[in-house]
Amino acid sequence: MTLDQSSVAQRLAGQGFGANGSATRLPFAIANMRLNPQSNIPLYEQISRAIRSAIDAGDLPPGAPLPTARELAAALGLGKNTIGAAYARLVAENYLVSNRRRGTEVSKVRFVSSIAQDKAPPQFGVSVEGANDDVAISYGAQRVLKLGRPFGTDARPFAPRCPDPSIYPRNQLGRLLLTDFCRSPGTDGNSGKFRFQSAIAAYLRHMRGVQCEPHQVIPITNLESALDLTGRVLLDPGHCVLIEEPSTFGAWEMFQASGAHVFPLPVDRAGADPDRAKSPPPRLLFVSPSVGFPFGGQMLEQRRLALLEFARRAGGIIFEADTDWELSWASKLRAIQGFDGGSRVLYFGSLHETLGPHLRVAYLVVPTHLASAFAEIANRVGYGPDGFVLSALSTFMEENEYAVHAKMVQSIYARRMGIALDACRTYVKRARPVEPTGGFHLSLLFSEDVDERAVVHMAARAGLTVTPLSLCYHQEPREKGIVLGLGLVPDRNIEASIRRLSEVIDLARTTGAVYELAS
């Protein structure tokens, strides 16, 4: 029997959720659920989809209370366990929150802003009326897709996470890649992977104080695959994750897609501060201690030790994203993994920043007791780069060519950063640059009279890709400004590009109010 709208509304009114009830905003959204018991979609899934759609549409605002599972089950004529399963799924997906004192209510955690996009991201409507409806994508995929176009795919000046392709070591590494590509794989197709693991382990022991053996090194393609792999192996729905705030794009969404509850880990000048975190005991803590994104700060040693002690007390594990450490011009501190001895830290590193966009190669160093699980899941999902690429990179590192190349890249970006900082101080009057300790990203903090969204859109029309700083935050207060990537701006073009950006910022100050009305 199909439950029609009127019967559901009448039952809800009878349970105290009518016009005179204490939750007068809720009945309309809930009473208009249309459930089809003949559908192949389970009833609990139909209910969770309907509530999810109502929240996305704004019919159930953040903080709105929901009826208890018993009350809604009685109103719909269903079992309490069916409603409980629907609520549990929505709680795991961060759509609802539940506690004994306040009951179940709509979560106040919202999706990341789509400010960086020229148009709103596609909406993925969900229908629950019949068995022949199109199959909807998962909620986890929807949350990831809310980010819009992946960062690092734009080729315009100031695009983020785009290293300079012109400094790719074509001669040395190109020759090695060609040789290994043409070589017969032989009987052992994993030889390139094993050599790469040994080369990375030796390099990290020498350069970062990381304590690891080759079998602990998991070759992967990028940070996103490392986060996804970590979620698959370590996180279950309901686990708590702390992510430094502000943080790199996508980490928050990737962990939420695993069903985890994500909370901010406040960052100050000393780095991520676990004493200021407000959350249940975390299963995982995500930090970037060497060159934090977006401000490029370095975590002090005492804060690294405090973070490690916090993880030990909570029974959690640290995800150490050490992507830009080779591009740091500050004194390099030992990795957190090195202080720990390798039992409570996942260490992530990448060759993307130093070798350029042509190769998608990164690595994840995991504790010994987790190595077999990470390696097996990574192998089944197919995260790893091709064997011939790993073999060529192994030779490149064993011959000490990589260390020499990384030092050269660091000097190039340090020079560009100096030029960009001087240009910002000279030409940009309504934004303050934050001097980083390394990397190739520069953040500008706006004065109160500058509209962030207007700058982003007007810069795009001027041929510049600037990233809103607010995207790096998920809680209030958010800093207002932009992030500039210097990978695609040659030295000779930096000053002119900064001057053009300054004109955009000045114009956004005068047209910001008009832009707000138009949008």
Closest residue by Cα to residue 484 from 312, 296, 204: 296
Burial of 369 (0-12, 13-18, 19+ CB in 10 A): exposed
Alpha helices, H only, 235-381: 251-257, 301-314, 336-340, 352-355, 368-381
CB of 160 within 8 A of CB of 467? yes
The structure's pTM equals: 0.73
Cα gap 454→349, rounded to integer Å: 35
> What DSSP designation does 118 have?
S
CB-based contacts of 476: which residues, under 8 Å, 6+ apart? none
Closest residue by Cα to residue 241 from 263, 258, 265, 225: 263
CB of 286 within 8 A of CB of 230? no
> What DSSP designation does 323 have?
T
The per-residue pLDDT string of the chain (519 residues; one tens digit each, 9 = 90 and over) reads 344 444 444 444 444 443 333 333 444 667 667 788 888 888 888 888 888 888 877 777 777 788 888 888 888 888 888 888 888 888 878 888 887 777 888 887 644 333 333 334 444 344 444 444 556 676 666 666 665 544 445 668 899 989 999 999 988 898 999 988 887 666 455 888 999 999 999 999 999 999 999 999 999 999 999 999 999 999 998 899 999 999 998 888 889 888 889 999 999 999 999 999 998 999 999 999 999 999 999 999 999 999 999 999 999 999 999 989 999 988 889 999 999 877 899 999 999 999 988 888 999 999 999 999 999 999 998 888 888 999 999 999 999 999 999 999 999 999 999 999 999 999 999 999 999 999 999 999 998 889 898 999 999 989 999 999 998 998 877 889 999 999 999 999 999 999 999 999 998 876 554 444 344
Q: 3-state DSSP: the chain helix, strand, coil percent, rounded to 5? A: 45, 15, 40
Backbone CA torsion sign across 363, 365, 366, 372: positive
User: If one looks up domain 5-110 in CATH, what number appears?
Assistant: 1.10.10.10
CB of 45 within 8 A of CB of 78? no
CB-based contacts of 88: which residues, under 8 Å, 6+ apart? none
Domain 168-403 CATH assignment equals 3.20.20.70? no
pLDDT of residue 120: 40
> What DSSP designation does 438 have?
B
CB of 431 within 8 A of CB of 345? no
> What DSSP designation does 16 have?
I
pLDDT of residue 116: 34
CA angle 343, 345, 351 (to 5 degrees): 130
Q: What is the 3-state secondary structure (H, E, C) of 475-515?
A: CCCCCCEEEEECCCCCHHHHHHHHHHHHHHHHHHHHHHHHH
**Buried-exposed string 273-305: b where 16+ CB fall within 10 A, e elsewhere:** bbeebeeeebbbbbbbbbbbbbbbbbbeeebbe
Cα gap 482→293, rounded to integer Å: 12
Q: How many CB atoms lie within 10 A of CB 15?
A: 19
Backbone CA torsion sign across 136, 139, 141, 146: positive
- What are the residue boundaries of the structural domains of the chain, listed by start? 5-110, 168-403, 407-518
CB of 374 within 8 A of CB of 383? no
pLDDT of residue 185: 65
Closest residue by Cα to residue 409 from 440, 388, 380, 430: 440
Q: Which helix (H) or strand (E) holds 92?
A: helix 80-92
CB-based contacts of 510: which residues, under 8 Å, 6+ apart? none
pLDDT of residue 256: 86
User: If one looks up domain 407-518 in CATH, what number appears?
Assistant: 3.90.1150.10
Cα gap 387→180, rounded to integer Å: 9
> What DSSP designation does 121 have?
P
